[in-house]
Amino acid sequence: GAGVSQSPSNKVTEKGKDVELRCDPISGHTALYWYRQSLGQGLEFLIYFQGNSAPDKSGLPSDRFSAERTGGSVSTLTIQRTQQEDSAVYLCASSPGQGVSYNEQFFGPGTRLTVL
Amino acid sequence: DQQVKQNSPSLSVQEGRISILNCDYTNSMFDYFLWYKKYPAEGPTFLISISSIKDKNEDGRFTVFLNKSAKHLSLHIVPSQPGDSAVYFCAARGRNNFNKFYFGSGTKLNVKP
């Protein structure tokens, strides 16, 4: 079946503009994660959604970052007033949220964001 | 403040030999550890995991060892194959937050034919 998809694959924007990154998780997966990977760094946790529960936003680096998950499926990560330090690969992952593999994360290919 | 560290950015191994990738962590609350493999232009894929109640977990050519007292884990690949060439990420999760995973910066493995 289809895996996690993300769009766009690449995004170049100017400093100060807003950007939206989209994630389509695997159908039926109740958990969804956003991470970012800056150059030479590991994956940095940003936010976690599980079903209808309140999201875990503890990893969002500033109030310029927000995320939504509509209808328990598609998620959008929004970065307002982008800064050059926001340049990174943004990765989305989903997991079943139940069963033996409840926590196993399936990653999308990522969106490479470049802020000029 | 990185709680999971992979101090070797790259590793080169001859085909057929053993590859050993290392990972250190600082948080004693971590109780579940995973390894992911990442090819260029793709997202990471799950490889193998280990719970803190074990010190070894094996799956085919892949074995993960956990040394809790040293806060160290390693991934052994035997025998290494050219198709294993990828970036390997170590990740950990704490018992105080099952949803939050901490990743290392990755080790790029090159298996030479």
A108 CB neighbours in chain B (<8 A) are 43
pLDDT in the model for residue A99: 60
Q: Return the SS3 of B25.
A: strand
Query: What percent of chain A has pLDDT above 90?
Result: 71
More confident residue, A8 or A40: A8
Q: Does B39 touch chain A (CB under 8 A)?
A: no
Q: Return the SS3 of A13.
A: strand
Give φ, ψ of A110 to 5 degrees: 95, 160
CA dihedral B28, B32, A5, A111 (to 10 degrees): 20
Q: Which residue of B has its CA nearest to A110?
A: B43
A47 CB neighbours in chain B (<8 A) are none
| pLDDT(A16) > 90 | yes
pLDDT in tens, A61-94: 999 999 999 887 899 999 999 999 999 999 999 9
Q: Does residue A114 contact residue A17 with C-beta atoms inside 8 Å?
A: no
Of A33, A40, A43, the CB nearest to B89: A43
pLDDT in the model for residue B59: 96
Confidence tier at A104 by pLDDT (50, 70, 90):
confident
Q: Return the SS3 of B20.
A: strand
Q: Return the SS3 of B42.
A: coil
Q: Report the pLDDT averaged over residues A20-49.
A: 91
Name the residue with tokens 């085919």. B60
Nearest CA distance, B30 vs chain A (angstrom)? 15
Residues with pLDDT less than 70, chain B: 1
| pLDDT(A101) > 80 | no
Q: Does A5 touch chain B (CB under 8 A)?
A: no
Confidence tier at A1 by pLDDT (50, 70, 90):
low
Q: Does A26 touch chain B (CB under 8 A)?
A: no
pLDDT in tens, B60-77: 999 999 999 999 999 999
Q: Is B16 exposed, middle or buried (0-12, 13-18, 19+ CB in 10 A)?
A: exposed
More confident residue, B100 or A112: A112
A33/B101 Cβ within 8 A: yes
